[in-house]
Structure 1
Amino acid sequence: RLSQSLTGSASGRSVSVRSSRGATSGPTRGKLGAGLVSVPPIPRPDPAAAVLLNPEVPERKRYCSKSDCGAPVGRSRGDRPGRTEGFCSKCGHPYSFSPKLQPGDVVHGQYDVVGCLAHGGLGWIYLAVDRAVSNRWVVLKGLLDTGDEDALAAAVSERRFLAEIEHPNIVRIYNFVEHLDQRTGTLDGYIVMAYVGGKSLKEIANERRAPDGKREPLPVAQAIAFAIEALEALGHLHSRNLLYCDFKVDNAIQTGDRLELIDMGAVRRMDDTESAIYGTVGYQAPEVAEVGPSVASDLYTVARTLAVLTFDFQGYTNVFADSLPNPGSIEVFSRYESFYRLLVRATDPDPGKRFASADEMSDQLLGVLREVVALESGQPRPALSTLFGPELRVVDTELVRPTAGDTSTLGADRV
């Protein structure tokens, strides 16, 4: 499925699947920037301050949730405002953009709902307090858009493996629960995750503004630092035969001095040929629709995210949905040729010509980062050889910026 970027109570049947991990958190000291570039840490905000006072889904973001439909719903007609609940006029599937949980509701007899944080593809995302574990902050997110008990139970069982994933760059999954909607009488499934306070890559990028108010791209070095962290997380998933599928600026948050993937809803096993595939136009590799996701398609999403972050990528969801702009028209491509070539390789139409693993792409990105930092600082940043021992010094090394009149060797056909 491609994305376009009610009261309950504690009563009723409720089942859960718990993580076997303890309550201690992962490492708090990150390595964002790989010691080469300084990325300002993002302080952890007060979670309660993130709760929306008036949770509403803008009409322009209201679409039918049925996988084979996706038609606009809940839109205004003349002087009549759009309905937040109803049935899709195209396929008849019911829709609701009203929060199912309200402040004060208790889910599974354990999670006190504080309010809504955001709206996602499977409904509202809620902030709650886990009264059973030191009143820690948690996030409840819809697991499945269905009222079928058997289908919901199967979905809970199917997603059980997410609770076993443990990595400092991946949000922790605590629990899966079912909650009876008192208004409709249907069971709703929720995934219970750690609350990750900070800012998403989308928010960080949108906050960079020029004096005239236009958004300024992130510095290439900073964007690469984020990508290297994301690749560590993806590499961990790949080592467990899992694919992330939907990496993008919305799904990663900088918290303190590290990056965390926060949305595990699209994660699937590599041998899964049955469940729905989730992705986002402009980020998803073109072959996914035909042959399904792969390690190569995961790496493709990281490269597309780098492009979105580092230049004004107009048309990345349509004209350039499966390609990059002419390098001569993009300043960062002309300035950092190795960066451009890395993006070309990682987004090659042939998955077999992309990087073979997250580690390989990360190693190459680290080399590009060294070059970028060296060009910016005027000082070489050599790496120690892992094959032939340490290089103690660099002799007669000079870094020269391109000057006006230099001929670029960029070419979209070269990788």
Structure 2
Amino acid sequence: MSPIGTPCTRPGCPGAYEDMGGGEVYCDTCGLAPAAGTGTTGAAASGAAAAPAAGPEPGQWPGPGAAELVSVPTAQMAGPARPGGGSRPSVPSSSRSSARSSRSSSSRRSVSGRLSRAMSGSSSTRSVSVRSTGSGSSAGSAGSGRLGAGLVAVPEVPRPDPAAAVLANPEVPERKRFCSRAECGAPVGRARGDRPGRTEGFCTKCGHPYSFVPKLRAGDVVRGQYEVAGCLAHGGLGWVYLAMDRAVDNRWVVLKGLLDTGDQDAMAAAISERRFLAEIEHANIVRIYNFVEHPDRRTGAPDGYIVMEYVGGKSLKEIANERRRPDGRRDPLPVEQACAYGIEALEALGHLHSRNLLYCDFKVDNAIQQQDQLKLIDMGAVRRMDDQESAIYGTVGYQAPEVAELGPSVASDLYTVARTLAVLTFDFQGYTNVFVDSLPDPEHIEVFRRYESFYRLLVRATDPDPERRFASAQEMADQLTGVLREVVALQTGRPRPHLSTLFGPELRVPDTQLFASDPARESSLLGLRPPTPLF
């Protein structure tokens, strides 16, 4: 029987056990977890002293265990100390909970461009995981997600009908048409007077050809297997198509074409998706299935396409833009919802980092919520940590300031997560220019004034010096989870504690007295020994 609602077993405590989120049960007065085996009314009424603290009982909703998501007390996060803390031991990524939709049952583009070529980040060989509640095999099995870490309910985004997502009239807005040549990037295809801009032609600055016309049409069959349904969107590396895989249960897949097959950098980025990510299985990362070629209907030259998992839902950008105030201005996301997204994103980035890969371009456009799960999409900017040759892709306003000169790193990936959290939680005017590498004064931002620990976390994650940022995605996720616990506690007026990963459970219940009041019970007289003469 669950101990929830039963009286606390600590002598003299008037409280009762309560679910504090994630299946974790604590006394609402003294904060003590129930003793092992506690849960029946008889046990609670007996007044027996609590034994070692225990986590959720078998059969309860699988919340984080004692080795997950270290809690940061409210006073610690809100005080003058910086939000960073020691990171907990790594948890193998293969040990995932069945509560995730792709885990084992047992276990930016508002302004963008290429930045520079150079530099490698420091490699990491340990597996980074934010939570682990069981042991199991693959991280890609079915289950249900738990966006919000059991602390906050994030509104689900229903999975739409894939066919309904196809664009009726696919075209790229003129304001988003730029030369794809790395050294140029000039605007192309713009209107002149009453004449609309051309969707195909040559850059007037460098002469490089451009085309924004979809190369695949509905009904086209790529490689005899993927039947195209139409265009879904246009990304930084070209059109994205919806197709049906006739060879594998008629499943929906996505074909991502190249913006310009003559662009060597774009081709290399597309190939890198297949080479680096086809073997990665993670619940928060889109699956890469295949890499195929299909002849261009005009030139006959082969065009490359990446075959990916179809992820139906809404991007964080869409979710944020749908929230509007009566005056039409955007209403920022609740900070607790943004924190929930950040924790999921950090888990995905940590998994990539454990494989010596960098994401490089995390932003509101590149993460989609599908039902109660967040997935990273658009893996075109992913690169190896020791890659010093390939083009670096990033987005102004999200990218760390040192990337253009030193190249990307784990620290720059974490920087992008913090910038995304800022964009989601307040009206971040000027984040691509005035505040391109800084945060506004906290006195002018309500969410910063109300939740100081959230502000401190963003300050550390966006420190101009990469060495002063969080050391890993795991460390930042731990601290962000602590911030989330504090935010929820402040909003509800109830603490949201968690078992520490640094200190073990109590072996016996502490009390307010050093010695028992029973005179018949012997106590140590060590402190009462008379001093021993030295001579």
- Normalising by the smaller structure, the TM-score range is 0.7 to 0.9
CA change 1:77–1:85 in 2 (3 A) is same
Q: Which amino acid aligns with 2:450?
A: R
| Equivalent of residue 284 in structure 1, options 371, 375, 399 | 399
Q: How does 1:123-138 map to 2 (within 5 A)?
A: 123-138=238-253
Matched-pair contact (CA < 8 Å) for 2:343–2:477: yes
Output one character per residue of 1:191-240: Cα deviation in whole Å (capped at 9) or x when no partner: 11000011100011011111222110000000000000000000000000
Distance change in 2, residues 1:338/1:269 (3 Å): same
**Aligned pairs (5 A) from 1:351-390:** 351-390=466-505
Q: How big is the shift at 1:148?
A: 8.3
2:202 and 2:301 map into 1 onto residues whose CA distance is 17
Q: Residue 302 of structure 1: which of 417, 420, 429 is its match?
A: 417
Cα 1:100–1:389, aligned 2, differ >3 Å: closer, same or farther?
same
Residue equivalent to 2:378: 263
Verify the 8 A CA contact 1:178 1:188 in the aligned structure 2.
Answer: yes
Q: Which runs of 4+ in 1 moved over 3 A?
A: 24-28, 151-159, 390-395
Matches within 5 A, 1:15-414: 26-143=141-258, 145-147=260-262, 156=271, 159-390=274-505
For 2:319, give the aligned amino acid.
Answer: I
**In the alignment, is the contact (CA less than 8 A) between 2:360 and 2:381 conserved in 1?**
yes
Deviation at 1:305, TM superposition (A): 0.1
| Distance apart, 1:268 and its partner CA | 0.5
Distance 2:232 2:162 in 1: 9
Question: Does the Cα contact within 8 Å between 2:486 and 2:496 map onto a contact in 1?
Answer: yes
Change (3 A) 1:25 1:131: farther
CA distance in 2, matches of 1:62, 1:260: 27
Q: For 1:117 and 1:394, how far apart are their aligned partners in 2?
A: 61
- Which protein is bigger by CA-based radius of gyration? 2
Deviation, structure 1 residue 303: 0.1
Q: CA deviation at 1:387?
A: 2.4
Residues 309-358 of structure 1: CA deviation (Å, up to 9, x unaligned): 00000000011010001111000000000100100000000000000000
Aligned partners of 1:380, 1:152: CA distance in 2, in Å?
A: 52
1:107-156 Cα shifts (integer Å, max 9, x gaps): 1111100000000112110000011101100001125732489x959963
Do 2:147 and 2:372's aligned partners in 1 also have CA atoms closer than 8 Å?
yes
| In 2, Cα distance between equivalents of 1:233 and 1:216 | 27
Instruction: Give the Å deviation of 1:27.
Output: 3.2
Structure 1 Cα separation of the partners of residues 157 and 350 of structure 2: 24
**Aligned partners of 2:247 and 2:363: how far apart in 1?**
33
Letter in 1 for 2:178: Y
Q: Residue type of the partner of 1:214?
A: R
Verify the 8 A CA contact 1:252 1:260 in the aligned structure 2: yes
% identical aligned pairs: 82
C-alpha deviation, 1:182, in angstroms: 2.2
| 1:386 to partner: Cα distance | 1.8
Classify the secondary structure of the residue corresponding to 1:265. Answer: helix
Query: For residue 349 of structure 2, what is the amino acid of its counterpart?
Result: L
* Aligned mates of 2:201, 2:239 — CA distance in 1: 17
Does structure 2 conserve the Cα–Cα contact (< 8 Å) formed by 1:166 and 1:172?
yes
Is the 8 Å Cα contact of residues 273 and 379 (structure 2) preserved in structure 1? no
Match of 1:10 in 2: none
Q: 1:116 to 1:228 in 2, by over 3 A?
A: same
Amino acid at match of 2:502: L
CA contact (8 A) 2:272 2:382 kept: no
Structure 2: runs of 5 or more not aligned: 1-107, 113-138, 512-535
Q: Which residue of 2 aligns with 1:4?
A: 111
Aligned partners of 2:211 and 2:260 also within 8 Å: no
Distance 1:252 1:394, change over 3 A: farther
TM (norm. structure 2) is 0.68
Aligned residues between the structures: 378
Q: Which residue of 2 is the match for residue 14 of structure 1?
A: none
Contact 2:152 2:336 in 1 (8 A): yes
Alpha-carbon distance, 1:162 to partner: 1.2
Task: Note if contact 2:148-2:340 (Cα within 8 Å) is conserved in structure 1.
Answer: yes
In structure 2, C-alpha distance between the alignment counterparts of 1:162 and 1:331, rounded to whole Å: 40
Ranges in structure 1 where 5+ consecutive residues have no aligned partner:
6-23, 396-415
Give the letter for the 2:393 counterpart: Y
8 Å Cα contact 2:343/2:481 also seen in 1: yes
Distance, in Å, in 1 between the alignment partners of 2:212 and 2:142 is 37
Moved more, 137-146 or 210-219: 137-146
Report the residue type matching 1:237 in the other structure: L
**TM-aligned CA distance change 1:292 to 1:372, over 3 Å:** same
1-structure distance, mates of 2:510, 2:236: 52
Specify the code of the residue in structure 2 equivalent to 1:337.
E
**8 Å contact from structure 2 (residues 140, 281) kept in 1:** no
- The equivalent of 2:89 in structure 1 is none
